[in-house]
Amino acid sequence: MIELTIFIILLLLVLIPSSYVLGKYISIHFLDDPLQKKTKLQMFFDKVEQPIYKFCNINPYKQMNGFDYFMALFSSNILISAFSFIVLYFQNKLPYTGGIKWQLDIPLILHILSSLITNTCQTHHIPELHLTHLSNYFIMPLLMFYSSASGIATGIVVMRGVTLSKIGNAYVDVIKAMTRILFPLSFLLCLIFVALGTPNTFKTSITYETLENIKQTIIIGPIAAFEAIKLLGENGLSCLNANSAHPFENPSYLSNFVQLVSILIVPFALIFTIGFWLKNLKQAIVILSVLVIVLIFEFTAVTYFELKGNPLINSALNLTSPNWVGKETRLGIVGSSVFEAAVSNVSGSANAALESFHPIINAFGLFNLSNQSVFGVQGFGTVFTINFILYTAFFIGLMLGKTPEIFGKRIEKNEMILSSILLLLNPLLVLVGVILTLIIYPDKSNNLYEHLHYYTQVFYEFASGAASNGSGLESLNDNTPYWNLSLATVMFLARYGAMASMILMGASLALKPVRTSSHPAFKTDTALFGFIFLFMSIMSTILIYLPFIILSPLAEVFMHG
């Protein structure tokens, strides 16, 4: 556990200062104040963005209401998906195939598109087999950039509404998210990954002769560039089927550390942005501390169980050995365990086989997918955090007999309705999907453990899709019309249903005046509030999902210890 302690300390020493700087940068560039004195960097980006606004016929000074903001994001997402559908459908007739001639069927295309545009990046296809280089290295990153930018914009509009009483312009926020955050940081990450040994070329393959005098062809491409947006944008989709376990994508322990920083830096930064906009960094520190405590607990728990090893195998062989099944030795138990704990909160990337981890780890994963507030997927996780803060403030207000408020804004009926939709939409879609699947495709095994594990696999697949995460347990045989269409539907409804309720909630709060009382109903920047916030976040998730988690991974734990 000494390695884990050092790993966590180094991770926080890198993450906290860098996310503080990025959070301040975001707070300045997304302030949306025409009277703000602009820095030289802002003026540079303004000049870069002006031709884009002109070409797209966008008025960057136009303010939108909540409905217009959502429709702008939704319609642009649909438009870019329609273009991508055409390319994917005709991929084998277009140039830059890389030798792949596969004709994708429509259910799989719809799953790929729904997965990518919703920032879920759940994978039912094999990139090296099913996708041409044009599809893999142009369409996939295009959708990943736009879906990540849309997620950031959704988070920004809610944060701006609740802290600054402004909504802004959806097109401007999306373009800024790409030009000022995703493009520059992805370029920097690409250079770092190349320096660490990740290939980055437009060549489709290389052929060489092995020591056994056998000619072998290896697929390559702009992998470092792909990895940059995959990780920074919290996209789990990989250009190679082994994902971040592949030595081209993740060559070393150091690259694994950089990947983990890349996944977490934007969610960390957005919490600091809230503090800067509230002019109260103490508030950001309280929120961030709660989330980091949960993350460190999961890092420790996952690593502990994996270092402890499989009790059945250790007992049978009379030895004590860590669980190396499904892990890459160059990344180690700690590197694999911490990565897994982080991505179940944030991204669907994987550097080890999720199926190989202890069942209790899958229980943590299902909790994270159900909760979504421990950093969560790009932008959306920040809103789920704000949503739980809203619930905590509402609960405290009721207990104290005072008007509930969040950051000085009163919480009323409209906000609670939208907040409840946001909280209940995910379990509704997940549990309906699980029930229908178990009715239509029941497990026919005579083994009780296999029955339970099949339920876990189905539950995890839908929970991952609804939470815009993308990770999953293998051996489910999910590239079928039923799985592709059902999950495409769940991902689409979960993403845009949540997006609509988030934006409308942010817009509703933006219209409310800030109460200037020197004695607020309850201070939200204290350790006590942080504790209550953590309790409410955990309890609300447990009340909805605990019976289902008990029936799947926890039941597996009780059977085999």
Listing DSSP states for 315-336 in one string gives HHHT------TT--TTTHHHHH
Distance CA 551, CA 254 (A): 38
pLDDT value at residue 241: 87
12-40 pLDDT tens trace: 999 999 999 999 999 999 987 777 788 88
Taking every pair of Cα atoms in the chain, the longest distance, rounded to a whole number of angstroms, is: 80
pLDDT value at residue 184: 95
Highest mean predicted confidence (pLDDT) among 8-12, 328-332, 462-466: 8-12
- E-strand ranges in 205-358 read 205-209, 215-219
Count of alpha carbons within 13 angstroms of residue 324, beta-carbon side: 8
Helix (H, G, I), strand (E, B) or coil at 176: helix
Helices (H), 126-241: 127-130, 133-134, 140-164, 170-176, 183-195, 223-232
Report how many domains make up the chain: 1
Distance CA 434, CA 104 (A): 26
516-525 pLDDT tens trace: 665 566 788 8
pLDDT value at residue 561: 55
Give the residue-averaged pLDDT of 149-171: 92
Cα torsion angle, 292, 188, 155, 427, sign? negative
Distance CA 532, CA 527 (A): 9
Q: Cα 3 to chain center, whole Å? A: 26
Distance CA 543, CA 526 (A): 26
More confident residue, 403 or 206: 206
Give the residue-averaged pLDDT of 269-273: 94
Distance CA 143, CA 88 (A): 12
DSSP string over 79-100: HHHHHHHHHHHTGGGSS--TT-
What domain range includes position 307? 2-560
Residue 259 and residue 349 in contact, taking contact as beta carbons nearer than 8 Å: yes
Phi-psi group of 118: left, alpha or beta (phi > 0 → left; psi -120 to 50 → alpha; rest → beta): alpha
Helix (H, G, I), strand (E, B) or coil at 219: strand
Number of other residues whose CB lies within 10 A of the CB of residue 428: 15
79-122 pLDDT tens trace: 999 999 999 999 999 998 888 888 899 999 999 999 999 988 88
Highest mean predicted confidence (pLDDT) among 304-318, 393-407, 526-540: 526-540
Residue 378 and residue 151 in contact, taking contact as beta carbons nearer than 8 Å: yes
The angle formed by the CA atoms of residues 555, 559 and 561, to the nearest 5 degrees, is 105
Q: Is the pLDDT of residue 42 over 70?
A: yes
Number of alpha helices (DSSP H) and beta strands (DSSP E) in the chain: 21, 4
**Going by C-beta distance under 8 Å and a sequence separation of 6 or more, which residues neighbour residue 278?**
163, 284, 407
Confidence of residue 316 (pLDDT cuts 50, 70, 90): confident
> What are the percentages of helix, strand and coil residues in the chain, rounded to 5?
70, 0, 30
Distance CA 446, CA 244 (A): 35
Helix (H, G, I), strand (E, B) or coil at 209: strand
pTM > 0.75: yes or no = yes
The angle formed by the CA atoms of residues 502, 503 and 505, to the nearest 5 degrees, is 65
Q: Among 295, 157, 136, which Cα is nearest to 230's?
A: 136
Confidence of residue 560 (pLDDT cuts 50, 70, 90): low
